[in-house]
């Protein structure tokens, strides 16, 4: 059986003291193993990054950008292969994997413009013969810890900009679907990146804790569940590191009585069930304002869901695939069971889909639940599966209060034809990413991604302009060259 190893100082390595199975979630079978890095292996990767840092930070920014241009081209040339890898280990349908990869490539494109982004600020003659300027210098060794649900895109949120800014990087991807992430990192070396600038260590908590505590690591980026995000943020800060930790979500869509209901249903189908709901931006709650809107939404949604196809990644006609593990499949089904026990109506039941030839796969079908209330466990917690819950309220203010009261504040949207309502919603909702008739308001690469409340720990969001600030530190220089022959006296007052 193939063992997926590590990439350290430009070389493929296998630390096989401990391994873990990697499954094809469509078949339920282990197809390979992943090496789990020891403390010593992670420290070796950090040492490689530290050794590579002095030369890389002094590499002209144009040459760093040129590596990113070549990297982008290699990603595009190898897109089919990457999408196949994602499908085999994540279960994501080919068109969905291609969309994920494209959003990652867009972040590489943004990093290609790093020369413009790193321009400092300059002021001449702030005082007699005194000039002042600021510049943005790299931090050193930085790290990223990334989740299973986007093995291509989320790492590409992090290391292209970090490296383009002059840092060196150690990536710890998810051990559940490591192959595509490792392959993409190898393409970066093929693009001309010097050995040691980019390193990948596969592993579990042992590897993570080394990255969080090693003094040589200066900053940590993380995407995952809220419980782990809080641990990452707290531990990294306790060890003097800059940290951004993106956590969980419970994203709501308000459906107003005046909404274009057919359009809302079409948008919700993709937003709720795409990627099997395993997205931190998945819309998992539809808040219908008024029973007429709720009844229409449930009727149209349940009818449209009959044509949804769950199945294997290799069939492009499928809409979404399995969830990532048997344990997660059972967890999602458990939330549906919980809602039913709480008195909800399971309008469309996806608990036991039958996929011919793939009976042992980790499949959950699209599920629609009506009559959900804010007191229920299935509403409070992130399901992270292909489940849409419907909550009925009487007013828009009640809908907004429901969203603002939730512990998560990642993404939200409103479906309406009323511009005044839309503007009031966007101004007053306590959520970091807001859509107006856009169900997945994921910012483009030249904006930044991040939620509010317990969906984000840290001050700076991911990618875009915030990434430049996160992966650099400002230095301000004040310089004076007195005129020849002019000698100044001593001054004890604070300079002006």
449 within domain boundaries: no
Q: Classify strands 433-436 and 387-393 as parallel, antiparallel or unpaired.
A: unpaired
The answer to whether residue 496 scores a pLDDT higher than 70 is no
- In the prediction, which pLDDT does 493 show? 77
Q: What are the tens digits of pLDDT across the range 254-270?
A: 999 999 999 999 999 99
Final residue of a structural domain among 436, 466, 490: 436
- In the prediction, which pLDDT does 495 show? 65
Q: Do 58 and 90 sit in the same domain of this protein?
A: yes
Check if the beta carbon of residue 256 is closer than 8 Å to that of residue 286.
Answer: no
The answer to whether residue 140 scores a pLDDT higher than 90 is yes
Exposed e or buried b per residue across 104-134, where buried means at least 16 C-beta atoms within 10 angstroms of its C-beta: bbbbbebbbebeebbeeeeeeeeeeeeebee
490 within domain boundaries: no
Q: Do 233 and 314 sit in the same domain of this protein?
A: no
Check 83, 280, 344, 413 and give the catalytic one: 280
Q: Do 182 and 155 sit in the same domain of this protein?
A: yes
Q: Do 123 and 188 sit in the same domain of this protein?
A: yes
Rounded to 5 degrees, φ, ψ at 229 are: -60, -45
Q: Do 174 and 291 sit in the same domain of this protein?
A: no
Check if the beta carbon of residue 40 is closer than 8 Å to that of residue 69.
Answer: no
Q: What are the tens digits of pLDDT across the range 89-125?
A: 999 999 999 999 999 999 999 999 999 999 989 999 9
Average pLDDT, the chain: 96
Greatest alpha-carbon span in the chain = 91
Q: Do 178 and 34 sit in the same domain of this protein?
A: yes
83 within domain boundaries: yes
Distance CA 281, CA 411 (A): 6
Q: Do 243 and 256 sit in the same domain of this protein?
A: no
Number of residues assigned to the chain: 496
469 within domain boundaries: yes
Q: Where in the sequence is the domain holding 264, given as residue range(s)?
A: 251-436
334 within domain boundaries: yes
Is residue 83 annotated as a catalytic residue, yes or no? no
| Res. 494 pLDDT band, cuts 50 70 90 | confident
445 within domain boundaries: no
Q: Do 69 and 170 sit in the same domain of this protein?
A: yes
| Res. 14 pLDDT band, cuts 50 70 90 | confident
340 within domain boundaries: yes
130 within domain boundaries: yes
Q: What are the tens digits of pLDDT across the range 20-69?
A: 999 999 999 999 999 999 999 999 999 999 999 999 999 999 999 999 99
- Joined together, the tokens standing for residue 2 give 């193939």
Q: Do 36 and 157 sit in the same domain of this protein?
A: yes
Q: Do 172 and 291 sit in the same domain of this protein?
A: no
**289 exposed, middle or buried (CB, 10 Å; 0-12, 13-18, 19+)?**
buried
- Joined together, the tokens standing for residue 496 give 């002006």
Q: Do 193 and 303 sit in the same domain of this protein?
A: no
Q: What are the tens digits of pLDDT across the range 346-388?
A: 999 999 898 999 999 999 999 999 999 999 999 999 999 999 9
The answer to whether residue 137 scores a pLDDT higher than 80 is yes
Q: What CATH number is given to the structural domain containing 92?
A: 3.40.605.10
The tally of domains found in the chain comes to 2
Rounded to 5 degrees, φ, ψ at 125 are: 55, 50
Q: Do 258 and 240 sit in the same domain of this protein?
A: no
Check if the beta carbon of residue 108 is closer than 8 Å to that of residue 161.
Answer: no
Alpha carbon 485 to chain centroid, angstroms: 60
Neighbours of 330 (CB within 10 A): 12
Q: What CATH number is given to the structural domain containing 331?
A: 3.40.309.10
């Amino acid at each position: 059986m193939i063992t997926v190893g590590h990439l350290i100082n430009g070389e493929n390595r296998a630390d096989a003291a401990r391994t873990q199975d990697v499954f094809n979630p469509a078949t339920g079978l282990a197809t390979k193993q992943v090496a789990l890095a020891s403390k010593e292996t992670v420290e070796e990767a950090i040492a490689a990054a530290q050794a590579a840092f002095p030369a890389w930070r002094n590499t002209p920014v144009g040459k760093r950008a040129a590596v990113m241009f070549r990297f982008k081209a290699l990603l595009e040339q190898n897109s089919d292969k990457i999408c196949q890898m994602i499908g085999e280990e994540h279960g994501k349908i080919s068109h969905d994997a291609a969309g994920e990869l494209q959003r990652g490539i867009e972040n590489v494109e943004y990093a290609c413009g790093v020369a413009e982004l790193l321009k400092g600020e300059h002021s001449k003659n702030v005082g007699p013969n005194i000039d002042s300027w600021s510049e943005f210098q790299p931090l050193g060794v930085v790290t990223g810890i990334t989740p299973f649900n986007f093995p291509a895109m989320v790492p590409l949120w992090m290391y292209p900009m970090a490296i383009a800014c002059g840092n060196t990087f150690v990536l710890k991807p998810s051990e559940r679907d490591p192959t595509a992430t490792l392959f993409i990192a190898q393409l970066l070396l093929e693009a001309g990146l010097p050995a040691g600038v980019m390193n990948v260590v596969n592993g579990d908590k042992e590897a993570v804790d080394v990255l969080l505590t090693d003094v040589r690591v200066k900053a940590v980026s993380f995407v995952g569940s809220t419980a782990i995000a809080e641990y990452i943020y707290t531990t990294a800060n306790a060890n003097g590191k800059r940290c951004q930790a993106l956590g969980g979500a419970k994203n709501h869509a308000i459906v107003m009585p005046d909404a274009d209901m057919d359009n809302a249903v079409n948008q919700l189908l993709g937003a709720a069930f795409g990627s099997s709901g395993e997205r931190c931006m998945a819309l998992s709650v539809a808040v219908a304002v008024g029973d007429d809107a709720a009844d229409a939404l449930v009727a149209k949604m349940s009818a449209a869901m009959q044509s949804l196809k769950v199945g294997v990644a290799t069939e492009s006609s499928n809409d979404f695939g399995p969830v990532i593990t048997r344990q997660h499949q059972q967890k999602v089904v458990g939330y549906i069971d919980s809602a039913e026990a709480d008195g909800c109506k399971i309008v469309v039941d996806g608990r036991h889909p039958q996929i011919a030839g793939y009976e042992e796969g980790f499949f959950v079908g699209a599920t629609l639940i009506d009559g959900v209330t804010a007191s229920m466990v299935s509403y409070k917690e992130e399901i992270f599966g292909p489940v849409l819950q419907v909550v009925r309220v009487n007013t828009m203010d009640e809908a907004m209060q429901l969203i603002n009261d939730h512990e998560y504040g990642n993404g939200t949207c409103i479906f309406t034809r009323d511009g005044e309502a839309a503007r009031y919603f966007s101004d007053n909702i306590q959520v970091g990413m807001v859509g107006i008739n856009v169900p997945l308001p994921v910012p483009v690469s030249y904006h930044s991604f991040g939620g509010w409340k317990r969906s984000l720990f840290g001050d700076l969001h991911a990618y875009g302009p915030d990434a430049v600030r996160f992966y650099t530190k400002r230095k301000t220089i004040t310089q004076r060259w007195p005129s020849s022959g002019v000698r100044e006296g001593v001054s004890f007052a604070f300079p002006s």
